[in-house]
Structure 1
């Protein structure tokens, strides 16, 4: 499906045939650029996900990082993971026309028909007391997904856009839909704060109101996924009360 969207003003584009990881390239590039730039790679030789887990990177899938220079404190900067998730869902809906097929899994995955089709990894570097740069890494299984045996036991099984929907989209074409979508959510975050993003994210949240497991290191807690709070933390309702969990791996 061909979807036309205007490229956001002032945002650069860099395409690399191969790279170790787009987030690593963003870190190297950060001292040399003054504005945001999308870095897209045909393949990654050392792609990684959350907690430094390897991320399989065959050609034809989407590996990109948006390098930014945010001005806010670290807490606000981290909220851009929600902007990225909303932009990803918007891009998926645009190229497939299937709004009901996609859901958002806290903290940073996009699900397609209940399987993981995309992941987001935020990394940042300091500058004095603030954040010098932000790298928003995004991996999307456009045409292929890892074997279920390659993911952690109990994790959401990976799926590909092509296998689940029959839609084949090239990485550059997907980027050209995703970048304008992210720019719109970025503008909302900067001008209106997190509240509109939080409301929209919750409208598409996977397993909201259901029992989930949240694992942080060796500690695993089970409860009802009640909401996310104004900082983006997971609110988990347990018999003894509701607790806020700022970071964890979630299992259904």
Structure 2
């Protein structure tokens, strides 16, 4: 019997490596540990259970057994100024993987920058973190948490899971679809102009495009119509006075308070 912890080719993406664990604190943290130890990257780490899962802006991420918890380590994937495009590429990859694993077409909508929604309820979270290593390499880690069989009852946003929606999708099956889908999107992303095809795919699933939204940023709350994504994937708001404003980071809510 193969030791699950041993690194091996990733299912669905043989050009990537893969580790599997019963329980870890955080798959993102473990990826950074591997990077600091000199790992060359293209490494997936998946766990059945996370005890210290985290989401965007330092929030806790509920991590019960049966859901998917996995992170991908990349080393110097592209110049640093392009790393901000990766959350959108990851969201498109995960949305496509959910469709493949569940046998659906356009099941999920995307909320900027990278949340997956079904009927307005949050199905997953994606957390991208980056660190410049002591040897000058940049480690980029993309963490995915997907509600396959359960979801937390009380969160900042309404949540859902695939089982509640009527889809029997195991974490293992979804991971294999995700690994293949991420490999495909990263290949697009690394091509000259490749992000534009990802941007177009993202906009086809955009949950709030053309709607009045509120964006909570570190500087305060901004309202306007979700008009577009710019060429780097930033949110473009059309404000009441007709001016357009580019948002680089923030939490999006519909103006009627339903995120």
Change (3 A) 1:6 1:57: closer
Tell me, yes or no, if structure 1 residue 195 matches structure 2 residue 196: yes
How big is the shift at 1:82? 1.2
Q: Which residue of 1 aligns with 2:251?
A: 249
The one of 64, 74, 78 equivalent to 2:84 is 78
In structure 2, stretches of 5+ residues that fail to align are 1-9, 255-259
Q: Which residue of 2 aligns with 1:178?
A: 178
Aligned to 2:25, the other structure's residue is in SS state coil
Q: Which residue of 1 aligns with 2:32?
A: 27
Tell me, yes or no, if structure 1 residue 57 matches structure 2 residue 80: no
Change (3 A) 1:23 1:143: same
In structure 1, stretches of 5+ residues that fail to align are none
The one of 107, 110, 130 equivalent to 1:104 is 110
Aligned to 2:191, the other structure's residue is in SS state helix
Aligned to 1:87, the other structure's residue is in SS state helix
Aligned to 2:236, the other structure's residue is in SS state strand
How big is the shift at 1:168? 1.9
Q: How many residues align?
A: 242
Deviation per residue, 1:5-31 (Å, 9 max, x gap): 972232001001100111111111113
The one of 106, 115, 123 equivalent to 1:117 is 123
CA distance in 1: counterparts of 2:51 and 2:45, whole angstroms? 15
Q: Give the RMSD, CA atoms, in angstroms.
A: 1.8
CA distance in 2: counterparts of 1:52 and 1:242, whole angstroms? 29
How big is the shift at 1:231? 1.4
CA distance in 1: counterparts of 2:238 and 2:203, whole angstroms? 16
How big is the shift at 1:112? 1.6
Aligned to 2:45, the other structure's residue is in SS state strand
Q: Is the 8 A contact 1:42 1:59 kept in 2?
A: yes
CA distance in 1: counterparts of 2:252 and 2:116, whole angstroms? 13
Change (3 A) 1:130 1:205: farther
The TM-score, its normalising length taken from structure 1, stands at 0.91
CA distance in 2: counterparts of 1:33 and 1:129, whole angstroms? 12
Deviation per residue, 1:57-89 (Å, 9 max, x gap): 100001000111124222212211111111111
Q: Is the 8 A contact 1:101 1:113 kept in 2?
A: no
Q: Which residue of 2 aligns with 1:163?
A: 164
* Equivalent residue runs for 1:128-147 within 5 Å: 132-147=138-153
Tell me, yes or no, if structure 1 residue 220 matches structure 2 residue 227: no
Which structure dedicates a bigger proportion of its chain to helix? 1
Q: Is the 8 A contact 1:74 1:130 kept in 2?
A: no
CA distance in 2: counterparts of 1:122 and 1:116, whole angstroms? 18
